[in-house]
Amino acid sequence: MKQNKSSIKIPQLIVIVAFFSCMLTGLQAQAKISPEQAIEGAVQGLLDEFTKRRAELAGDKSALYAMVDKYTRSHFDFEKISKLVLAKNWKQATDSQRNAFSNEFRTLLIRTYATALFQYTGKETMEFKSSQIKERNGIKSAIVETEVNLSEGPGIQVTYSMVLDNSNNWKVYNMTIAGINMVTSYRKTYGASIRSLGLDGLIESMKDANARI
């Protein structure tokens, strides 16, 4: 289905640098709300709060991470993402390893990309181009295509992959930025680490990275 175009503000560095932007996924949508409406409301809500609290958050990392976490924790399918990223390694992992990886992965994304908010200038916009909803085996999924327009240079294509959960909430589980697929990119990176360190070794390295951010 096609939707009317609309524009909202979006952090610049997240789209340019990040494979995946946690900040764009604080969704709180019911089935009667379209996926793009869920994204639009979530992004604007996050940026409104960030703008008001920018000075405070610049000197308080804990508050910054808590704000971003608030917009992502309940509305982002980290288990699905973790399962897709680990692929065959997910099947071989214990429940404890799965939980540990999912928690560290979420923490890494939040802490890494929260700091990118400070690159936000207020001049960046996101244009919703189209969306398509499909249903297979009783599960609804959606693809939302957008274009991010920066103050200079060509627009950047950003595509969201979403799923409707059992509570009728749309959740983002993948994202492609300028042709770079988030799940595929992390799968390659973490797959190489698992081959050299093992899954437990990867999790420990993620813990160390999170402690340094």
pLDDT tens, position by position, 37-71: 767 766 777 788 888 999 999 999 999 999 988 87
3-state secondary structure of 180: strand
pLDDT value, residue 69: 87
| Rounded Cα gap, residues 125 and 133, in angstroms | 24
What are the CA-CA distances from residue 90 to residues 5, 76, 79, 96, 139 (Å)? Answer: 38, 19, 10, 11, 22
| H/E element, 176 | strand 170-177
Adjacent-strand bridge partners of 146? 128, 158
pLDDT value, residue 200: 98
pLDDT value, residue 85: 96
- List, for the chain, all residue ranges whose pLDDT scores fall below the cut of 70: 1-32, 38, 41-42, 74-75
pLDDT value, residue 29: 36
**All structural domains of the chain with their residue ranges:** 7-203
Among 202, 174, 210, 208, residue whose Cα is nearest residue 92: 202
Residues 7-203: name the CATH superfamily: Tgt2/MlaC (3.10.450.710)
| H/E element, 19 | none
Q: Which residue has the tokens 């508050």?
A: 63
pLDDT value, residue 23: 38
By the 8 A CB rule, do 63 and 54 touch? no
